[in-house]
Amino acid sequence: MIASATPIAVAPAPPLVDRHGRTISYLRVSVTDRCDLRCRYCMAEKMTFLPRDALLSLEEMALIAERFVARGVRKIRLSGGEPLVRRDAIDLVRRLGRHVGVGLDELTLTTNGTRLRAFAPMLADAGVRRINVSLDSRDPTTFRHITRHGDLSQVLDGIEAAQAAGLTVKINMVALAGLNEGEIPAMLAWAGGAGMDLTLIETMPLGMIDEDRADRFVPLTRVFDDLSRRFTLAADAHRSGGPARYWHVAETGRRLGLISPLTGNFCDSCNRVRLTTEGKLFTCLGHEDQVDLKAAIRGGGPVAVDNAIDAALLAKPARHDFSIAPGAAPAVRRHMSVTGG
């Protein structure tokens, strides 16, 4: 449980600006590296997760996040792993939700949807207004293959519960050659018809998995060309705070988002840093440079956290070095679930 009933008052500090002049306004927090699915592009089938005593407590996670809010972060996204598998994760949501409208513009969540039926009303009550649900196929057999054991009906039921609770839902779909590429047009039509935007994502070379990612890589340039022949797409100025670029879909009235780290680098406008569940702050998804905020908060409190954040921003690289080639090693050894999606 998080002990504090109200947000901790912390002294303000200079805004977060990296050495390339980019203002950091977005913090992504990996609540846990654990997940109840084993998506093939994200994890190996047999994963070794962090021991529980290596993790930040939820209280420490909240204190660090509040330090970022004090320094100008306007949006926090909770992710994982699957954030809702961590015991008492909803207490963290409630704690951070109290900052929405008083320093924080938005608190959001990325989830696989398996636990939304139980948690959606609590998320809405805590101040969350919008969530992303990772859903790579609406075919039960394909879904089970990609996730290794997932039940599609459980996720669809969770999406229904989220919408009933008043949450805006966006679907995230990783494009995978030979698995779900042919489903993308139908997914766009289904999402739009259900009042949801769809964001497509290129698979990223993070962590060792049991397949060669090059075999599954789909360039979103190709996908966009195909969708443009099927739908009426117009560039949309909408921004959600992340790297996606959006198009308005005339046939559904909703949006299509594209996150293309390999075919359309977006690093020049990067406004994000990531806090892992064990307290490491990564300033780039594609690099190993990090600072230890767990050691900082346990050893020196808010001042030490500020100093560590400043050191991290001085080292933030200009861009990632992602590439996918047959047989190539991943850009970094850590899995996406460790860093937070």
204 labelled as ligand-binding?
A: yes
77 labelled as ligand-binding?
A: yes
270 labelled as ligand-binding?
A: yes
333 labelled as ligand-binding?
A: no
With b meaning 16 or more CB within 10 Å and e meaning fewer, what string describes 123-155?
bbebbbebbbbbbbbbbeebbebbbeebebeeb
280 labelled as ligand-binding?
A: no
339 labelled as ligand-binding?
A: no
38 labelled as ligand-binding?
A: no
Q: Residue 69 and residue 76: Cα distance in Å, rounded?
A: 9
267 labelled as ligand-binding?
A: yes
79 labelled as ligand-binding?
A: no
Give the helix ranges, DSSP H, for the chain. Answer: 58-70, 89-97, 116-125, 140-147, 152-164, 184-193, 213-216, 220-230, 293-315, 336-339
| Residue 69 per-residue DSSP state | H
1 labelled as ligand-binding?
A: no
274 labelled as ligand-binding?
A: yes
222 labelled as ligand-binding?
A: no
3-state secondary structure (DSSP) of residue 306? helix
With b meaning 16 or more CB within 10 Å and e meaning fewer, what string describes 275-311?
bbbbbbbbbbbbbeebbbbbebbeeeebeebbebbee
Contact predicate 95/62, CB 8 Å: yes
Q: Residue 56 and residue 67: Cα distance in Å, rounded?
A: 15
41 labelled as ligand-binding?
A: yes
Q: Which two tokens stand for residue 198?
A: 């769809």
39 labelled as ligand-binding?
A: yes
75 labelled as ligand-binding?
A: no
In this structure, which amino acid lies at residue 81?
A: G
Cβ burial of 312 (10 Å; 0-12, 13-18, 19+) is buried
Binding site residues for [4Fe-4S] cluster, as ranges?
Answer: 35, 39, 42, 267, 270, 284
- In the annotated binding site for S-adenosyl-L-methionine, the residues are 41, 81, 134, 204
Which residues sit in the known binding site for GTP?
28, 77, 110, 170, 272-274
Instruction: List residues forming the annotated binding site.
Output: 28, 35, 39, 41-42, 77, 81, 110, 134, 170, 204, 267, 270, 272-274, 284
